[in-house]
Structure 1
Amino acid sequence: MADYTTAARPYAKAVFELAQETSQFDSWSGRLQFWAALVSHPDMSERLAAPGLTHQDRATMIEKVVGDEMDEHSRNFIRLLSENNRLPLLPDIAAIYEELRAEAEGEIEATVTSAFELTDSQRDSIIGALSRRLERNVRIVNVVDKDLIGGAIIRAGDLVIDGSLRGRVENMERAVVN
């Protein structure tokens, strides 16, 4: 996956810069998400990988599915990806684009892994604390992991806060062993 991310990053940055110049963040988000879903669909993925297809054939296949809604920038982008055999990277390109967009808009997504579903007040409390600490708007995704026993692990960008009981037990175990 890291290789895909590295290869996808320049394309995502280029689209992000275009979206920024033209003030079309939402439009490009929608396009990239649609194309990512399209190339990830098993039938389309199989067709795009068929031997004997030219780069133009692959680009045309996507253009036909999208139809008249494809502007010149979109058409050129799909053709560029096809010529460079990068159509399978569209899911990674879309994900990186969304990260760049969130960063530009002063937002960050935090994953809160907890033993139980967070209550509204817990969500609000975590959002408030993280927003103050990171000086950004925070969106929370709650993942339930019963193995944590209690507490939570918060991941937001490079920040990781392990306040789980499992984490505390592991830390005590390491302290006893060392």
Structure 2
Amino acid sequence: MAELTTLARPYAKAAFAYARDHSDLASWATQLETLALVSEYGKAKEIVASPGVTPADQATALIEVCGEELSEKVKNFVQLLADNKRLALLPEVFTLFDALKSAQEQAVNVELTTAYELDDASQQKLADALSAKLERKVKVSAAIDQQLLAGAVIKAGDLVIDGSMRGRLEKLAKAINS
């Protein structure tokens, strides 16, 4: 994984610098996300991974699947990745690009996992509290994991706040056993 990150970093930085300089971060992020998702599934994944398919054909296939979703500049970026045999890095390029975009916007993506679905007002209240605590804009993506029993687990970058009942029970069990 570290090797993929190392290989993808220069491409992500170059794409980010271009998009930032042309005030087009949101569009590039959307297009790279689309490419990353397409490149990981089905026939597109087979084509990208196939050594028997030329880089030009790999790029053309990806571009055709994405259709009108891609701008000419992003199509050129895909061709550059294909020419350097780096199309398989698209998911990692998107991840790094998104991290750079969040840092630029002073935003953080937060993964909120709860035992039960939260209403929009509760999610917004939590997002506002986290935004004040982290001093950044917060983008919340919610998921449900009934194994948590109750409470929530919040992940924001390297920060993990485990306020779940399962987490508390595990801590209690460790304390009793030590």
Give yes or no for TM over 0.5.
yes
Tell me the residue number matched to 1:119.
119
Tell me the residue number matched to 2:16.
16
| More divergent stretch after superposition (16-25 vs 39-48) | 39-48
Q: How many Å separate the matches in 2 of 1:169 and 1:50? A: 48
Q: How many Å separate the matches in 2 of 1:56 and 1:121? A: 49
Q: How many Å separate the matches in 1 of 2:57 and 2:171? A: 56
Tell me the residue number matched to 2:45.
45
Deviation track 1:14-64 (CA, whole Å, cap 9, x = no partner) reads 100110111111221232123223323422333344444333333344455
Specify every segment of 5 or more residues in structure 1 that has no aligned partner in the other structure, as ranges.
Answer: none
Matched residue type, 1:8: A
Please show how residues 62-141 of structure 1 align to structure 2 within 5 Å. 62-63=62-63, 70-71=71-72, 73-141=73-141
Count of residue pairs the alignment pairs up: 177
Q: How many Å separate the matches in 2 of 1:24 and 1:153? A: 33
Tell me the residue number matched to 1:150.
150
TM-score, scaled relative to structure 2: 0.85
Matched residue type, 2:103: E
Specify every segment of 5 or more residues in structure 2 that has no aligned partner in the other structure, as ranges.
Answer: none
Tell me the residue number matched to 1:3.
3
Deviation track 1:76-127 (CA, whole Å, cap 9, x = no partner) reads 4223211221111112212221222122112111111111111233212211
TM-score, scaled relative to structure 1: 0.85
Contact 2:150 2:166 in 1 (8 A): yes
Q: 1:57 to 1:114 in 2, by over 3 A?
A: closer
SS at match of 2:16: helix
Shift of 1:75: 4.3
Matched residue type, 1:157: G
Shift of 1:158: 1.4
Q: How many Å separate the matches in 1 of 2:160 and 2:110? A: 10
